[in-house]
Amino acid sequence: MSKKIPYRTYLSEEQMPKYWYNLRADMKEQHDPYVNPGTMKPIQYEDLLPVFCEELVKQEMNTTERYIAIPEEVREFYKTYRPSPLIRAYNLEKELKTPAKIYYKFEGNNTSGSHKLNSAVAQVYYAKMQGITSLTTETGAGQWGTALSMAAAYFNMPLTVFMVKVSAEQKPYRKAIMETFGAKVIPSPSDTTDSGKAILKADPKTGGSLGCAISEAVEQAVKTPNCRYVLGSVLDQVLLHQAIMGSEAKIAMELLDEYPDVVIGCIGGGSNFGGIISEYMADKLNGRKCPRFIAVEPASCPSLTRGKYAYDFCDTGKITPLAKMYTLGSGFKPSPIHAGGLRYHGDAPIVCNLAAEGLIEARAYYQNECFEAARLFLSTEGFLPAPETSHAIKAVIDLAKEAAPGSVITFLYSGHGLLDLASYEAYLKGGLTNFELPQEDIDTALKDCPEI
Ligand SMILES: Cc1ncc(COP(=O)(O)O)c(C=O)c1O
């Protein structure tokens, strides 16, 4: 008789990967280079040094080294919450009456509440090693800001977080945690930077966006001596750090003698999705296996499903490098959906490159159906998902209903929703709008995309 697979599979500390897997080393084609907004030419190593820490720039440019050693200090920190469990969703399977096996990699088990800590600790560590004396960043929903505040507190690094204004209003407790960790939190757009002032002048009532907050954080970093900017998604270096989730998932599934037929994650800038798919994508690129990969986004911010594959600015103020990505336009004004981390106008160039090659599929859902999926997940599996994570869960439920017997669905549970209770309350009161994005809005925002 075959052994029953446990509900939870925990790796030991010794089994935690000592290397980050670098997917670019296995990609046949690299994504198009970032472009310097001043010269409109491919960005050079030196161009990035005033903005980012040196070691992180090296990682950003490293397309050849397959495995990059995780520094000892970062691994020690990881051990406070990693390896994270791989959970078999027996109760959800039963409720759905699905013939599929569903697994999720659980990243809600640290105080900051999400996968974002995996990159935050690495980035603060490298800043500290370089002798940097302060950092800036932006945050949408607040999870990245919280994760970075936690890592900054651990390494005693002063931090300023520009938080998208609408999220700061929707999620006051996120701001409170960041401040408790010692970070300075500024709702964005603000009048503390030139880009913030310009955005406010153009639209005094704006609720802000990740694009605006990035402009402010980058501006403060370059204008402050010995300060650098750090980003929680989109960049290759962030996907590199997040690959630890996929590597752990793969080790655990091998122990169970399982392999996913489909791997699912929600997508904002692409870091949790890029992380969970990484080692599985290598199998596909090298012809060893052929899993499906599904990125799930909000219908109100449908960059992968309805965006244009083009060079665009990563921020609204147009001061950052340009990236080739599926974009809705850097001036895109997102609707105030509760999944604040999924409101970015573009996606990680690595993910976009793979999507353009047809290796990744994308789906978009409305927020009410995602909250409904989250509620089913809570009542079966017992965990309250972040509104972002609920998008992945909705796709899992849809796929499970039509799955072949014995097929395996693996998804990334990117974070908990315990600080998103105001969103759940609004959902239960029936007060959420299913924002539909008019094509004219996309067309208007895309007009601003430079021709490169
Ligand atoms: C819990 C959670 N999941 C997903 C995301 C989306 O970001 P990314 O696509 O970089 O993983 C966020 C972003 O804030 C998040 O907080």
Q: Is 444 exposed, middle or buried (0-12, 13-18, 19+ CB in 10 A)?
A: middle
Predicted confidence band at 2 (pLDDT cuts at 50, 70, 90)? Answer: low
Same domain, 329 and 381: yes
- How far is ligand 1, taken at its centre, from the CA of residue 424, in Å? 18
pLDDT tens, residue by residue, 229-256: 999 999 999 999 999 999 999 999 999 9
173 with 100, same domain? no
Higher local confidence (pLDDT), 317 or 108: 108
Nearest ligand 1 atom to alpha carbon 232: 10
Rounded distance between C-alpha atoms, residue 361 and residue 56, angstroms = 29
Residue nearest (by alpha carbon) to ligand 1 atom 6:
268
How many C-beta neighbours within 10 Å does residue 432 have? 17
Q: Is residue 11 part of a domain?
A: no
Q: What phi and psi values does residue 89 have, to the nearest 5 degrees?
A: -85, 60
Question: What is the mean pLDDT of the segment spanning 8-35?
Answer: 97
Same domain, 348 and 413: yes
Structural domain including 388 reads 82-113+238-438
| Residue 369 CB coordination number (10 Å) | 16
Domain boundary among 181, 210, 229: 229
Shared domain check, 90 and 51: no
Nearest to 84 by CA among 69, 104, 101: 104
Angle at 79 between CA 350 and CA 87, to 5 degrees: 70
Q: Is residue 73 part of a domain?
A: no
- Which ligand 1 atom sits nearest the alpha carbon of residue 268? 9
Tell me the CA distances in angstroms from 191 to 148, 187, 188, 199, one per residue in order: 23, 10, 9, 9
How far, in Å, CA of 155 to CA of 316, rounded?
31
Supply the CATH number for residue 176's domain.
3.40.50.1100
For the chain, the residue count is 452
Ligand 1 center to residue 388 CA distance, Å? 6
The total number of structural domains that make up the chain: 2
Max Cα–Cα distance, the chain, nearest Å: 70
Distance CA 338, CA 343 (A): 9
Pocket probe for ligand 1: among 164, 342, 394, 420, the residue whose CB has the most ligand atoms within 8 Å is 342
Residue 344 and residue 199 share a domain: no
The gap between the terminal CA atoms of the chain, to the nearest Å, is 61
Sorting pLDDT into bands at 50, 70 and 90, what band is 451? confident
Last residue within a domain, chosen from 209, 229, 249 = 229
Q: How confident is the model at residue 167 (pLDDT cuts 50, 70, 90)?
A: confident
Q: Do 88 and 145 have their domain in common?
A: no
Specify which residues 184 forms β-bridges with. Answer: 160
Is position 184 within any domain? Answer: yes
Q: Which residues pair with 188 in a beta bridge?
A: 164
Separation of CA 342 and ligand 1 centre (Å):
7
Structural domain includes residue 37: no
Residues with CB under 6 A from ligand 1: 114, 140-141, 143-144, 233, 266-273, 341-342, 386, 388-389, 414-415
Q: Which pLDDT belongs to residue 398? A: 98
- Token pair for residue 249? 């998932």
Residue 447 lies in a domain: no
In this predicted structure, the answer to whether residue 193 has a pLDDT above a threshold of 90 is yes
Number of other residues whose CB lies within 10 A of the CB of residue 32:
17
Pair (155, 293) in one structural domain: no
Helix axes 236-255, 117-130, angle to 10 degrees: 130
Continuous segment of H or E residues that includes residue 151 = helix 143-154
Tell me, yes or no, whether 189 and 153 share the same domain.
yes
Look at ligand 1, atom 15, and give the residue with the nearest C-alpha: 341
The pair of three-digit structure tokens given for residue 236, joined into one six-digit string:
């290759």
Distance 3 CA to ligand 1 centre (A): 35
**143 shares its domain with 93:** no
Q: What is the pLDDT of residue 320?
A: 87
Share of the chain above pLDDT 90, in %: 87
Residues 176 and 107 in one domain: no
Q: Residue 232, Cα to own-chain centre: how many angstroms?
A: 7
pLDDT at 66: 98
> To 10 degrees, the CA torsion angle through 248, 57, 146, 297?
-70
- 201 shares its domain with 173: yes
Q: How far is CA 41 from CA 47, 84, 237, in A?
A: 11, 41, 21
For residue 6, give the amino acid letter. Answer: P
Residue 1 has pLDDT above 60, yes or no: no
Answer yes or no: are the C-beta atoms of 414 and 398 closer than 8 Å: no
